[in-house]
Structure 1
Amino acid sequence: MMTIKDVEVKKALNAWKPDAMLTNLSIAYYEEPQFAARRLFPICPVTLPAGKFYIFRKGDLARDNMRKKPPYGTVAPAVFGLDTQSYTCEIYQEKIGMDRLIALPYERASAFDMKRARTKTLTEQIALHQEIEFAEKFFKAGVWNNEWQGAASTNKANKKFAKFSGANDPAEIMDYLSMEIRRNGRRRPNKLALGTETYAALRSNAAIKERIKYTGTNSAPAVVNEQCLAAIFGVDSVVVLDSTVNRAGVGAADQMEFVCDPKGALLLYTPEAAAVDTPSAGYMFTYQISGNDYIAVEEFEGEPGSYTTFLSGLIAYDMRITSQDLAVYLTDCV
């Protein structure tokens, strides 16, 4: 056991290292608030875990049904068809334990609040799970009917576009695709989601930089960022999908990857909030499992004598494509 004299000797030699935790620093690789699922697709709260919703047929709504009234008679009723689509909110759970005996010395030293740290971890785990499902449901090849592939040059008949990393103007294909979505879906796309490599290629694209080269000043130089690209492509917002995930199992070497395809892009229309008679490329249906919220975090005690507390996180939702006409997915952008 180290005595006071031993400590004084080590202090004189600058070799004493107190075994105490810092109160103003800890290191945890929490994700920055860049999860995209909740920013791109509106949340539609539902009171039942499963159900159906109506879809008015676009063709009937877009058809001119007005007819000249015949004398002494009336016109035939217009036909407006209805289809239905279903949703099923699955419930997901994660549980995190806290050993109160292990946490006690750290809390007494005000090193950190384990409960607060575990709650933050649980909240981020919920968001990460949603982000992974977003990538599976919305941001990959094969899920959207309207899909284009990057190539050496543009060939609209074969749904090929010139890769953004080449000598081309990406605004041309974006304008064309926006007009196609407006023509087929009756809404102009308002959001653009970009994989990390796609975003980097657009930032370096010569045609994009040419468009802004005279817009900067010495104090505010022109840069290609999300706001700049949104203005060039005519959308309200550009979202870069740069959240990461460890694909390795417990105990294996970390395998860090981007959650969403880094070479992909998704041009789409979604409203800011769910509303009746409002079309959207997709919705996130959320089942209210705790009051008015679809996320529930609960604290409960472990087995008697274990001095353990658990945090349980529940979430109930279903991500659904609700209109294939309101989005186009681009693969191999780089």
Structure 2
Amino acid sequence: MPNPAQSDLHVNAPLTNVSIAYIQNASEFIATKVFPQVPVQKQSDMYWKYSKSDWRKTDVKRRAPSTESPGVGWKLDTDSYFAHVYAVHKDVDDQVRANADSNFRVDSDATKFVTNQLLLKRDLDWADTFFKAGVWTTEKTGVASGVGAGEFLQWNDDASDPINDVSQWIVDFRELTGYAPNTMVIGANVLRELKNHPDIIDRIKYTQRGIVTEDLIATLFGVDRIVTAYATKAAGPEINDADDQDAAASYSFIADSKSALLAYSPSSPSLMTPAAGYTFTWNGYTAGNGQGIRIKNFRMEHIASDRVEGEMTYDMKVVAPDMGIFVGTAVA
């Protein structure tokens, strides 16, 4: 990763109080918003998984005098986690610091840059773990025409029926799991099409403002919340000239902007409450930080620099595949 040169920080600018920074808003990242984080003391350990079927059948019988009641119980399985440590650093050279104009806060800027790197990595891993086909027990696929089993008409088509689609999926979800999904993660283009869908506009036209919001869509769909995956990533070669590098780069959303995930996610982790997924964070390493992240600043005398180093620990686990429905190509 290239560092800013001295000439980059000492600028001749008529507007010294104006700067332009492409720093992604941390609120765009969703890795900590969807599934509960589980702070753990050990880097690796095991956790219990309860039998779903044992909790949904009964062995209760009518009891005759002087007889024992039926004995019941539930089966347990185990799985394991391993919270890897991820790290990255940015060095602030003494010469760069000495030559920086006052509007460059080199230490705080380095901290923001390192933090952004960590958040990008975590969201990339979240999408690769949870937001794709082949992960969840149930999958639905949007098609342009000729709807077959497990398919639905894509929601960019005015003839489609997204409210009924999701309503039916929730009924099926309840039948399979005994729970109702409460969270829906949608791509940016899915939200755009839903906001302009005639059925949804018709349903909300008599609301106070008549504007389609995530909260209104969540109410229409029958879920507690909708989370839109807005975080983006860049790909491309590293070029010395910043303008040339930006021009050569390609930009895209981290999570598939045309897909969605319908899931059950409890507000907090619990031994007796199922969840589609958990993120285990090793707070035994990050000094009690439940987010699993820490930033360090220390001297690197041999290169005449101060190092800003960020670390993050986590392991993302699909805990109950039945507790999620992946909706692929929801829009064209």
TM-score by length of 1: 0.88
Alignment of 1:1-334 (within 5 A): 19=12, 24-32=17-25, 33-106=27-100, 109-152=101-144, 155=147, 158-166=149-157, 167-216=159-208, 221-251=209-239, 253-288=248-283, 289-293=285-289, 294-304=292-302, 306-334=303-331
Secondary structure at the aligned position of 1:54 is classed as: strand
Structure 1 residues not aligned, in runs of 5+ = 1-17
Q: Report the Cα distance in structure 2 between the residues aligned to 1:21 and 1:43, rounded to whole angstroms.
A: 47
CA apart distance, 1:185: 1.7
CA apart distance, 1:71: 2.8
CA apart distance, 1:76: 3.5
Residues 153 and 19 (structure 1), Cα distance of their counterparts in 2 relative to 1, 3 Å cut: closer
Residues 68 and 21 (structure 1), Cα distance of their counterparts in 2 relative to 1, 3 Å cut: farther
Secondary structure at the aligned position of 2:297 is classed as: strand
Q: What do the CA deviations read for 1:117-165 (whole angstroms, capped 9, x no partner)? A: 111111111111110001100111222121110024585x711111111
CA apart distance, 1:98: 0.7
Secondary structure at the aligned position of 1:183 is classed as: helix
Counterpart of 1:75, as a letter, is: S
CA apart distance, 1:41: 1.0
Q: Report the Cα distance in structure 1 between the residues aligned to 2:17 and 2:40, rounded to whole angstroms.
A: 42
Contact kept? 2:60, 2:70, Cα under 8 Å: no
Structure 2 residues not aligned, in runs of 5+ = 1-10, 240-244
CA apart distance, 1:61: 0.9
Q: Report the Cα distance in structure 1 between the residues aligned to 2:55 and 2:14, rounded to whole angstroms.
A: 66
Q: Report the Cα distance in structure 1 between the residues aligned to 2:38 and 2:179, rounded to whole angstroms.
A: 20
Contact kept? 1:299, 1:312, Cα under 8 Å: yes
Counterpart of 1:321, as a letter, is: V
CA apart distance, 1:178: 1.1
Secondary structure at the aligned position of 1:278 is classed as: coil
Contact kept? 1:36, 1:239, Cα under 8 Å: yes
CA apart distance, 1:205: 0.8
Contact kept? 1:44, 1:283, Cα under 8 Å: yes
Q: Report the Cα distance in structure 1 between the residues aligned to 2:146 and 2:56, rounded to whole angstroms.
A: 31
Larger radius of gyration: 1
Q: Report the Cα distance in structure 1 between the residues aligned to 2:65 and 2:286, rounded to whole angstroms.
A: 61
TM-score by length of 2: 0.88
Secondary structure at the aligned position of 2:141 is classed as: strand
Q: Report the Cα distance in structure 1 between the residues aligned to 2:326 and 2:103, rounded to whole angstroms.
A: 47
Q: Report the Cα distance in structure 2 between the residues aligned to 1:147 and 1:331, rounded to whole angstroms.
A: 8
The number of equivalent residue pairs is 309
Instruction: Give the % identical residues.
Output: 30
Residues 136 and 302 (structure 1), Cα distance of their counterparts in 2 relative to 1, 3 Å cut: same
